[in-house]
């Protein structure tokens, strides 16, 4: 494959990217042209933050083409474009480099980035291609996919750690926004025989259902869209993000039975007061764990 590297001002990046895709680019990405220098600037903020601009003041636009002929043809077409996009070199964009990109074994690369994760000394998240650590007594076999939740993110690790300290026998548990189903599976492995796992994303629902089956706990977990949620639960956990957690406060609070517990994650430390205020009409939500700038919050009803 051939990679074109174009330099462009912020005002041209969006139009340039769209034009490249229309001209047959397999993919387009944008980087800070000043990356790895003293002029490098952070642009994209934390989850839930508002992005003020769509690109860096000086951006590098990287686009992949199947072969050199396709890249040269697209480059020529760009130089001929006129009209509202103003994609002429004289208007600010220029070719920085054209280079051959070697094909990679993306499966192996992905696997190398996802290693076994120890939640406790005897509770591990282990990808299917890895050996199970000798000390592991409870294991979730989970491969990366389209759904969030592999155990590597601090928000998920904190939830899993909380699950590992519970005795779920004879309890009903809700995993709201289940993603890969990892928290529902953890609850089932720690004794829960009645878990509901719901997500608005049908791909996540399918992923959670398959992962529950692969881990031998499908009989204990009902997976579906949110409309399958029914009744009240002894424990409700939701690992999403602060903004939807605030919106969902009345719904999630209503799912917890008297004496039950609500566990929320996906919250930045600076957002904990906002969450406390959002849930104040229902319960006293407090921080019970923190890792790498994220917090786990819980309330007893």
Q: Is 202 exposed, middle or buried (0-12, 13-18, 19+ CB in 10 A)?
A: exposed
- Other CB atoms within 10 Å distance of the CB of residue 44: 8
CA 281, 159, 201: angle at the middle one, nearest 5?
80
- In whole angstroms, give the CA distance from residue 82 to residue 231: 61
Q: Kindly state which CATH superfamily the domain 2-100 is placed in.
A: RRM (RNA recognition motif) domain (3.30.70.330)
- Confidence check: pLDDT of 83 > 50: no
Confidence band of 107 (pLDDT split at 50, 70, 90)? low
- In whole angstroms, give the CA distance from residue 175 to residue 142: 17
- Of the ranges 130-134, 283-287, 295-299, which one carries the lowest mean pLDDT score? 130-134
- Other CB atoms within 10 Å distance of the CB of residue 269: 13
Q: Is 138 exposed, middle or buried (0-12, 13-18, 19+ CB in 10 A)?
A: middle
In this predicted model, what pLDDT tens digit does every residue of 154-184 receive, in sequence order? 999 999 999 999 989 999 999 999 999 999 9
Tell me the three state secondary structure of residue 20.
helix
What pLDDT is stored for residue 35 in this prediction?
76
In this predicted model, what pLDDT tens digit does every residue of 225-284 receive, in sequence order? 998 788 999 999 999 999 999 999 999 999 999 999 999 999 999 999 999 999 999 999
Q: 140 has which bridge partners?
A: 125
Residues 6+ apart with CB under 8 A from 262: 235, 236, 237, 252, 253, 256, 279, 283, 285, 298, 299, 301
- Annotated domain spans of the chain: 2-100, 126-300
What mean pLDDT do residues 59-72 have?
A: 91
Q: 31 has which bridge partners?
A: 60
Residues 6+ apart with CB under 8 A from 214: 141
Class of the CATH domain delimited by 126-300: alpha beta
To which residue do tokens 């508002």 refer? 50
- Of the ranges 124-133, 146-155, 237-246, 290-299, which one carries the lowest mean pLDDT score? 146-155
Residues 6+ apart with CB under 8 A from 219: none
Q: Hey, what long-range contacts does 41-47 have (CB within 8 A, 24 or more apart)?
A: 46/268, 47/241, 47/242, 47/266, 47/268
Tell me the three state secondary structure of residue 225.
coil
Strands 27-32 and 123-126: unpaired
Is-above-0.75 flag for pTM? no
CATH fold match for the domains 2-100 and 126-300:
no
What crossing angle do the helices spanning 68-80 and 10-22 adopt, rounded to 10°? 130
Phi first, then psi: what are they for 251, rounded to 5°?
Answer: -65, -50
What pLDDT is stored for residue 121 in this prediction?
93
Calculate the average pLDDT of the chain.
Answer: 86
What pLDDT is stored for residue 52 in this prediction?
53
Token pair belonging to 254? 């209503």
- Confidence check: pLDDT of 198 > 70: yes
In this predicted model, what pLDDT tens digit does every residue of 232-242 receive, in sequence order? 999 999 999 99
């Amino acid at each position: 494959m051939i990679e074109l590297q174009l330099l462009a001002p912020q005002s041209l990046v969006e139009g340039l990217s769209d034009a490249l895709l229309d001209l047959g680019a397999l993919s387009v990405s944008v980087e800070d042209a000043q990356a790895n220098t003293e002029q490098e600037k952070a642009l994209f903020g934390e989850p839930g933050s508002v992005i003020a601009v769509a690109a860096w003041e000086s951006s590098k636009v990287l686009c992949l083409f199947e072969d050199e002929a396709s890249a040269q043809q697209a480059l020529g077409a760009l130089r001929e474009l006129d009209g509202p996009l103003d994609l002429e070199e004289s208007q600010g964009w220029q070719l920085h480099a054209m280079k051959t990109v070697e094909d990679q074994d993306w499966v192996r690369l992905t696997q190398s980035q996802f290693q076994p994760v120890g939640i406790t000394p005897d509770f591990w998240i282990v990808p299917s291609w890895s050996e199970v650590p000798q000390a592991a007594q409870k294991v979730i076999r989970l491969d990366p996919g389209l759904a969030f939740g592999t155990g590597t993110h601090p928000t998920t690790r904190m939830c899993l750690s909380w699950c590992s300290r519970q005795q779920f026998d004879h309890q009903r548990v809700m995993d709201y926004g289940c993603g890969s189903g990892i928290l529902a599976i953890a609850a089932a492995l720690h004794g829960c025989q009645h878990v509901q796992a719901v997500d608005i994303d049908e791909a996540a629902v399918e992923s959670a259902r398959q992962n529950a089956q692969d881990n031998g706990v499908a009989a204990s977990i009902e997976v579906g869209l949110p409309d399958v949620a029914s009744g009240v639960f002894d424990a409700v956990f939701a690992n999403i993000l602060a903004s939807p957690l605030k919106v969902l406060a009345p719904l999630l609070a209503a799912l917890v039975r008297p004496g039950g517990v609500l566990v929320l994650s996906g919250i930045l430390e600076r957002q904990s007061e906002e969450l406390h205020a959002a849930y104040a009409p229902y319960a006293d939500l407090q921080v019970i764990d923190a890792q790498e700038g994220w917090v786990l919050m819980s309330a007893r009803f």
